[in-house]
Structure 1
Amino acid sequence: MTTWTTASRISTAGVHLDGDLSLPEHPAGLVLFAHGSGSSRHSPRNRAVAEALNRHRLATLLVDLLTADEERVDLHTADLRFDVGLLADRLIGIIDWLREEPETAALPIGLFGASTGAAAALVAAADRPGQVHAVVSRGGRPDLAGPALIQVAAPTLLIVGERDPRVLELNEQARNTMRAAAELRIIPAATHLFEEPGTLEQVAEQAARWFGDHLAAPAARR
C-alpha cells in the first residue's frame, strides 16, 4: 500500500505550525498526533506509531505544536510544554483546519496524545465532540485535562507501561472519572517511554485497533 507524505504549513491560534501529513490509499480515518513534553513531530516514537497506523489505512498528521522560536524558549524554561490550554487551543485550530482541507475534510478524526500532549488531546476532544471520534493516550497525563476530562465524549484508550507506577495510578483515576467509554491497557515490562523491545509495537497495534474500530463507525452511519 502506498502512502504519500507532504509537508503542511498550518495557521492556527495566531501562529504558523509545521506538520507532516501522510495519506495512504483510501484512508478510513485520520489521526492527529499531540506530542509530549519537550518533543516534536520528529519524535521517533510517534513516527513509529504513525507508520504503523498508515499500514492500517489510517492517515496521520504529526505537527509541531510550538513554533521554532517558542521551542527555543521552552528548551530553557520548560514552561510552554506544560501549558495544556495553549496546546489544546492549537489542536482545536488544527482540527478546524483539517475540516477545511479537501483531502481530509471527509475523514473521521482521532487524536493520539503522549505525556502532556494527551491532556491537550482530551481537552480538544471535549471542545470538538462532533469532530473527534476517538482518543488514544500513550503514557499520558489525563489528569492535566482538568474539568474537561468528564466532558470528553469520544471513546478513549489509555495505554500505560507496567513499570510506570505514578502515571499508571493517574490513568486509573482518569478512567474511573471519565463518563465516556474508557479503557486502560497496561503494556507488560514497559517504562514511561516504551523503550523496551517490542513494547512500542504493542502500543501501535493497540492504537490501530482502537482507531480502526471507532473511526470507521461515523463514516458507516452517514
Structure 2
Amino acid sequence: MSTVHIPAESVESDGKRAELDGELILPPSAKGVVLFAHGSGSSRFSPRNTYVAEVLQRRGIGTLLFDLLTREEDRDYETRFDIALLTRRLLAATRWIRDEPRTRALSLGYFGASTGAAAALQAAAEMGNEVSAVVSRGGRPDLAGAAALARVTAPTLLIVGGADYGVIELNQEAYALLDCAKELSLIPGATHLFEEPGTLQLAAGAASDWFARHL
C-alpha cells in the first residue's frame, strides 16, 4: 500500500490547490484499478469500502481509496452534498491515475456509495469509454441527474439493500434512465448501510464479480 496525494481544485477562489489524501493498492499483475467515491460524512477509511476494496484486491484488482474533500471542506455540511464538486474531485483522481506510471495502462472502474454513487455516474458520463465499469452500493444514482445517467456507457451495477425502502425506488428510477449494459441487484434483508450479517459480503461479492467481468 502506498499513501498518495492527489492535486485538485480548491473550493476557495484564492487560486490555491487542494490536496486529497489516498491509499493506492496494486496486487501483482493487476488487471485494472477501481476508484472509490465515498458517501457524505465518510472518508477513505470507511470500513465498508475498505472491506470491498480488500475483496477486489484478492481478485487481482487494484484500488484507490481517497478523500473527496479536505478536512476543512468536510466540516461544511453543504459541501458534503455538492455532487458537482465531488464529481470534479473524482475526475481529478482519474487524471492522477492516468498520469501515474504504475496505473496509466490499467483499465478503470468506479465504485460509489451513497452520494458518492452520483459522483461516480456523473464522472463516468464525462469519461465515456475510458471507464470500463461502475458499481453503486446503497447509492443515490438519482442525484446524478437524468442527463448524466443517459450518457453513461460503462456497464453499471446498482446494488441496493432489499430492505432499504425508498432508496430501492430511487435506484429503480435511475436504472430505467441508464442506456448501457446494466443490472440492479437487491441484497435480501439488507438496509442502507448493509449492517445485517452477511449482507456486506454479498454486496462485495457482486461488485467484485462485476469488475472482474468488465475490467
Using the size of structure 2 for normalisation, the TM-score is: 0.95
Distance 1:30 1:212 in 2: 11
Deviations 1:70-117 (A, max 9, x none): 12x22xxx2111100000001111111111000000010000000000
What CA RMSD, in Å, does the superposition of the two structures yield over aligned residues?
A: 0.7
Aligned residue in 2 for 1:49: 52
Aligned residue in 2 for 1:32: 35
Name structure 2 gaps, 5 residues minimum: 10-16
Identity %: 57
Aligned residue in 2 for 1:9: 5
Q: Secondary structure at the match of 1:24?
A: coil
Q: How many residues align?
A: 207
Residues 110-189 of structure 1: matches in 2 within 5 Å? Answer: 110-146=109-145, 147-189=147-189
Distance 1:49 1:192 in 2: 16
Name structure 1 gaps, 5 residues minimum: 216-222
Residues 54-133 of structure 1: matches in 2 within 5 Å? Answer: 54-71=57-74, 73-74=75-76, 78-133=77-132
Deviations 1:126-164 (A, max 9, x none): 011132110000000011001211111101000000110
Amino acid of the structure 1 residue aligned with 2:121: L
Residue 177 of structure 1 and its aligned partner are, at CA, apart by 1.1
User: Runs ≥4 in structure 1, deviation > 6 angstroms?
Assistant: none
Q: Secondary structure at the match of 1:38?
A: coil
Using the size of structure 1 for normalisation, the TM-score is: 0.92
